[in-house]
């Protein structure tokens, strides 16, 4: 009888426990098999260990990211969104039995029931194509001054360890996610897919914003409703004119430029990448991104590791504008090379549109002399200076000076340019080769190719196989020689075609499938090594315009040639899209005489458009009249005054050129004491356009001190309070098509 009593007592206790904890508890209860209890090395107030649910809570200034360990040992996403929301973790999510297994996973893998796009897909040596990744250990530590959480997952049946990292930049509401796979088997594991990270948004109707375009029309903003199923943005040939890796997801009809929640992100990767947005039938949205493993696998040898590039995820409660500011700050403070992070970018002159391939010393010196006269600081010779390069048919690959054009080499010309007081920069396209070059004649096997297939040319060039170490060594040594023998302070690194024929017949079979990933790793190493040899040289990324603009390249290249389209009307639109994720400090914009729409834009408009980024001049200066030179001199002097605001201030998009025939952007100093506003009138014929014959309306400014008075100068003078300028706005005083104005604001001090 005492035995029966004992049983009754136990049942009673269990009932009480269920009443107390069972209904709204989200914790794996005591009957759950213990998934190796977490041992936390160190806690910070940003990343905390939680008991209910058992897991981690990451708090940034405006967001919360919460993860839990479910009863079956699977690490599951719980919540990602604004702070202050009640956490509704469904018990079913954590209390799953190992027989069924968690379907929703923080690191989604191919194995068991799958309800998400997988991040990890591997084949084990015995042919098993599924894995099972359960919690094994974790650590909270600091890297580069910021807290980082590492969660190790292990496959119970095989020697595979998957470590998922989340590094937190709390004040920018940014998480960096990446994954490292380690093979503890005795034979290789084949990685078919390894994404960098995944996030899981609450049930909602969402719009996806992304950038897409073409050559000459880069960075166009697109918006699409996420419907059940998967929406993918990606590249498969390295070129990202169509698609720089960036996204912003907002609840439909709730968020705007200045209000509402926005989840945004990007990838630190310049190779093939993909971002998938999977909306489940129940309405949750998973966002997952990383390397695009299309036509790619990676053989992970015993004891070796494979690390994915970083995926960046952020949250803004202040609409798209807040998302842009966070990305701009992130790029400015955490991505760009430390050496040049805080340096203002120089006003440059580039000779491409003036002289094309037909370059010589006398003509470049004449351009440099006028460039100096109007206030330029850096003179760049573009394509055409190297051996055999008379047009786009020959020369790529032979990075020695063309002695027919420069009989004494480049250095005497550089010296004269330096003596004028200008720095000197040069164009290269190292990843490419023309079949008509000494390099190709000597090493036809150095290009990507399949032996029995056509070597497809684009712009008469083939792609060097940078997966090969000998190719990289050749490039490192020839570029080093160029930089050693000449006083070069700037490199414009171009890439003018997408990949094709991505074969590497000499490599062992598994390496042949790794060629794209190895190419990018080696490209990064090549640039890094060159920069460590020549630390003073500033680098610009170019790919037939803005075709290579991503966080991977931006951690190496200090600025970007935004587009070959320098027509000011188009440029306003390109720059508007660009500003959604990339800061003005990188956005190189040249004044030229391009007139793609045959509307004869004025020189003043051309300058005003370029002055909202990194100002450059790229036209034939010898053809400018004295008046034009005078105007250019004034504009460059004005730019130097507003440059700290443009390059280091906070950007506000005030009026979209896609909404009407006007556009306006504002840059405000970090303390709100100064601002500069650019107003542009474009076509009157656009739908919804405002007649430009008369000035009308106003544009509301942002980011000012409402209680202060501001002095207005340049194209508008006067005085107004911050409150008036932000609530009533600055009158839109610009009249006429293709006209523009710059207004400077300065806070009255007492």
Pick the binder of ligand DGJ from 72, 218, 383, 674 (CB under 6 A). 383
Min dist. Cβ of residue 492 to ligand DGJ (A): 7
Given the DSSP bridges, would you call strands 298-300 and 146-154 parallel, antiparallel or unpaired? unpaired
**Active-site position among 494, 550, 567, 570:** 494
Of 107 and 482, CB closest to ligand DGJ: 482
- The answer to whether residue 494 forms part of the interface with ligand DGJ (CB under 6 A) is yes
Min dist. Cβ of residue 381 to ligand DGJ (A): 10
Of 158 and 352, CB closest to ligand DGJ: 352
DSSP letter string, 444-485: GGGBS--TTS----BTTBEEB-TTSHHHHHHHHHHHHHHHHH
As a whole number of angstroms, the longest Cα–Cα distance in the chain is 112
C-alpha dihedral sign at 350, 352, 357, 361: negative
Of 545 and 552, CB closest to ligand DGJ: 545
**Phi-psi map region of 697: left, alpha, beta (phi>0 left; psi -120 to 50 alpha):** left
Of 561 and 678, CB closest to ligand DGJ: 561
Min dist. Cβ of residue 388 to ligand DGJ (A): 14
Of 63 and 364, CB closest to ligand DGJ: 364
Q: Give the x/- contact pattern for ligand DGJ in 499-538, rule: CB under 6 A.
A: ----------------------------------------
Min dist. Cβ of residue 613 to ligand DGJ (A): 15
Count residues binding ligand DGJ (CB under 6 A).
Answer: 11
Are 249 and 316 in contact by the 8 Å Cβ rule? The answer is: no
For helices 626-648 and 603-610, give the axis angle rounded to 10 degrees. Answer: 20
Pick the binder of ligand DGJ from 213, 244, 545, 703 (CB under 6 A). 545
Q: Which residues pair with 616 in a beta bridge?
A: 348, 590
357: its two tokens: 């391939």
Of 427 and 678, CB closest to ligand DGJ: 427
> DSSP strand E in 159-219: where?
160-169, 174-183, 189-194, 197-201, 206-212
Cα of 157 vs its chain's centroid, Å = 38
Helix (H, G, I), strand (E, B) or coil at 703: coil
Are 729 and 701 in contact by the 8 Å Cβ rule? The answer is: yes
- The answer to whether residue 561 forms part of the interface with ligand DGJ (CB under 6 A) is yes
Min dist. Cβ of residue 544 to ligand DGJ (A): 5
Give dist(CA 676, CA 743) in Å, integer: 6
Min dist. Cβ of residue 678 to ligand DGJ (A): 24
Residue nearest to ligand DGJ (CB): 383
Pick the binder of ligand DGJ from 290, 425, 544, 649 (CB under 6 A). 544
Q: Give the x/- contact pattern for ligand DGJ in 209-248, rule: CB under 6 A.
A: ----------------------------------------
Min dist. Cβ of residue 590 to ligand DGJ (A): 9
> DSSP strand E in 524-673: where?
538-541, 559-561, 587-591, 614-617, 650-655, 662-668
Give dist(CA 590, CA 378) in Å, integer: 13
CA proximity to 534, closest of 461, 611, 481, 468:
481
Of 319 and 544, CB closest to ligand DGJ: 544
Give dist(CA 139, CA 165) in Å, integer: 10
Min dist. Cβ of residue 459 to ligand DGJ (A): 8
Min dist. Cβ of residue 658 to ligand DGJ (A): 24
43: its two tokens: 């806690």
Question: In whole angstroms, how large is the CA radius of gyration of the chain?
Answer: 29
Pick the binder of ligand DGJ from 427, 578, 678, 710 (CB under 6 A). 427
**Active-site position among 72, 152, 402, 564:** 564
453: its two tokens: 């297939």
Min dist. Cβ of residue 496 to ligand DGJ (A): 5
Pick the binder of ligand DGJ from 178, 247, 306, 352 (CB under 6 A). 352
Contacts of 117 (CB under 8 A, 6+ apart): 108, 198, 230, 276, 278, 286, 288
Min dist. Cβ of residue 483 to ligand DGJ (A): 19
- The answer to whether residue 542 forms part of the interface with ligand DGJ (CB under 6 A) is yes
Residue 564 among the catalytic residues = yes
Q: Which stretch binds ligand DGJ (CB under 6 A): 66-74, 89-97, 542-550, 621-629?
A: 542-550
Min dist. Cβ of residue 384 to ligand DGJ (A): 8
Q: Which stretch binds ligand DGJ (CB under 6 A): 59-67, 117-125, 541-549, 625-633?
A: 541-549
310: its two tokens: 């970083």
The neighbour count for residue 113, using CB atoms within 10 Å, is 8
- The answer to whether residue 431 forms part of the interface with ligand DGJ (CB under 6 A) is no
Give dist(CA 588, CA 436) in Å, integer: 32
- The answer to whether residue 491 forms part of the interface with ligand DGJ (CB under 6 A) is no
Pick the binder of ligand DGJ from 132, 176, 257, 382 (CB under 6 A). 382
Residue 144 among the catalytic residues = no
Of 246 and 427, CB closest to ligand DGJ: 427
635: its two tokens: 């504009």
486: its two tokens: 């000449």
- The answer to whether residue 570 forms part of the interface with ligand DGJ (CB under 6 A) is no
Of 403 and 459, CB closest to ligand DGJ: 459
Of 545 and 583, CB closest to ligand DGJ: 545
Give dist(CA 520, CA 526) in Å, integer: 10
412-442 burial by CB neighbour count: b if 16+ within 10 A, else e?
ebbebbbeeebbbbbbbbbbbbbbbbebbee
- The answer to whether residue 564 forms part of the interface with ligand DGJ (CB under 6 A) is yes
CA atoms within 13 Å, Cβ hemisphere of 569: 19
Phi/psi at 723 (nearest 5 deg)? -60, -45
CA proximity to 704, closest of 665, 675, 744, 663:
675
CA atoms within 13 Å, Cβ hemisphere of 104: 25
Helix (H, G, I), strand (E, B) or coil at 577: helix
Of 277 and 561, CB closest to ligand DGJ: 561
Q: Which stretch binds ligand DGJ (CB under 6 A): 416-424, 434-442, 465-473, 540-548?
A: 540-548
- The answer to whether residue 496 forms part of the interface with ligand DGJ (CB under 6 A) is yes
- The answer to whether residue 386 forms part of the interface with ligand DGJ (CB under 6 A) is no
Binding site for ligand DGJ (CB under 6 A): 352, 382-383, 427, 494, 496, 542, 544-545, 561, 564
The residues assigned a catalytic role are 494, 564
């Amino acid at each position: 009888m005492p035995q029966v009593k004992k049983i009754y007592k136990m049942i009673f206790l269990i009932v009480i426990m269920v009443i107390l904890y069972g209904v709204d508890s989200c914790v794996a209860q005591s009957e759950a098999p213990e998934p190796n209890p977490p041992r936390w090395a160190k806690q910070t107030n940003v990343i905390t260990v939680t008991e209910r649910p058992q897991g981690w809570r990451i708090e940034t200034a405006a967001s919360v990211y919460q993860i839990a360990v479910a009863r079956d040992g699977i690490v599951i996403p719980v919540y990602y969104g604004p702070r202050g929301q009640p956490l509704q973790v469904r018990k079913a999510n954590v209390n799953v039995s190992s027989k069924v297994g968690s379907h929703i996973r923080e690191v989604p893998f191919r194995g068991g029931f799958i309800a998400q796009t997988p991040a990890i897909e591997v084949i084990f040596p015995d042919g098993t194509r599924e894995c099972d990744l359960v919690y094994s250990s974790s650590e909270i530590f600091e890297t580069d001054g910021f807290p980082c959480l590492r969660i190790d997952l292990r496959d119970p049946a095989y020697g595979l360890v998957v470590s998922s990292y989340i590094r937190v930049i709390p004040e920018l509401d940014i998480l960096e996610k990446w994954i490292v796979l380690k093979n503890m088997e005795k034979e290789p594991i084949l990685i078919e897919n390894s994404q960098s990270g995944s996030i899981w948004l609450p049930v909602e109707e969402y719009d996806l914003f992304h950038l897409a375009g073409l050559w000459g029309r880069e960075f166009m903003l697109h918006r699409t409703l996420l419907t059940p199923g998967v929406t993918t943005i990606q590249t498969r040939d390295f070129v990202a004119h169509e698609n720089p890796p960036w996204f912003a997801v907002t609840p439909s009809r709730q968020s705007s430029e200045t209000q509402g929640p926005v989840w945004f992100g990007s990838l630190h990767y310049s190779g093939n990448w993909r971002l998938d947005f999977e909306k489940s039938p129940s309405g949750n949205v998973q966002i997952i991104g990383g390397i695009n493993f299309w036509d790619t696998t990676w053989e992970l040898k015993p004891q070796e590791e494979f690390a994915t590039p970083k995926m960046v995820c952020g949250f803004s409660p202040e609409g798209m504008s807040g998302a842009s500011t966070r990305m701009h700050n992130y790029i400015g403070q955490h991505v760009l090379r430390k050496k040049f992070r805080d340096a203002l970018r120089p006003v440059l002159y580039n000779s491409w549109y003036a002289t094309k391939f037909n370059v010589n010393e006398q003509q470049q010196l004449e351009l440099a002399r006028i460039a100096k006269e109007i206030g330029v600081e850096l003179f760049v010779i573009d394509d055409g200076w190297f051996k055999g390069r008379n047009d786009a048919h020959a020369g790529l690959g032979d990075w020695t000076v063309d002695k027919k054009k420069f009989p004494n080499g480049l250095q005497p010309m550089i010296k004269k340019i330096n003596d004028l007081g200008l720095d000197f920069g040069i164009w290269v396209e190292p990843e490419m080769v023309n079949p008509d070059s000494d390099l190709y004649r000597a090493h036809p096997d150095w290009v990507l190719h399949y032996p029995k297939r056509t070597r497809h040319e684009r712009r008469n060039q083939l792609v060097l196989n940078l997966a090969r170490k000998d190719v990289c060594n050749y490039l490192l040594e020839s570029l080093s020689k160029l930089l050693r023998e000449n006083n070069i302070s700037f490199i414009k690194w171009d890439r003018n075609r997408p990949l094709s024929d991505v074969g590497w017949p000499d490599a062992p079979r598994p390496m042949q499938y790794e060629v794209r990933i190895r190419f990018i790793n080696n490209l990064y190493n090549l640039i890094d090594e060159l920069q460590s040899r020549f630390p003073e040289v500033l680098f610009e990324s170019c790919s037939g315009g803005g075709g290579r603009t991503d966080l991977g390249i931006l951690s190496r290249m200090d600025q970007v040639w935004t587009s070959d389209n320098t027509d000011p009307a188009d440029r306003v639109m390109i720059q508007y899209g660009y500003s959604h994720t990339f800061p003005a400090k990188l956005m190189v914009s040249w004044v030229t005489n391009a007139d793609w729409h045959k509307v004869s834009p004025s020189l003043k408009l051309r300058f005003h458009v370029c002055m909202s980024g990194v100002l450059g001049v790229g036209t034939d200066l010898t053809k400018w009249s004295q008046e034009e030179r005078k105007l250019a001199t004034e504009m460059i002097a004005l730019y130097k005054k507003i440059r700290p605001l443009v390059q280091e201030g906070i950007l506000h998009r005030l009026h979209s050129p896609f909404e009407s025939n006007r556009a306006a952007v504002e840059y405000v100093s970090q303390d709100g004491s100064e601002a500069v506003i650019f107003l542009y009138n474009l076509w009157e014929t656009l739908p919804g356009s405002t007649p430009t014959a008369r000035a009308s309306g106003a544009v509301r400014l942002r980011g000012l001190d409402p209680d202060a008075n501001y002095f207005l100068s340049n194209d508008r003078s006067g005085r107004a309070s911050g409150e008036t300028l932000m609530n009533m706005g600055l009158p839109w005083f610009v009249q006429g098509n293709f006209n523009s104005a710059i207004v400077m604001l300065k806070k009255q001090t007492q």
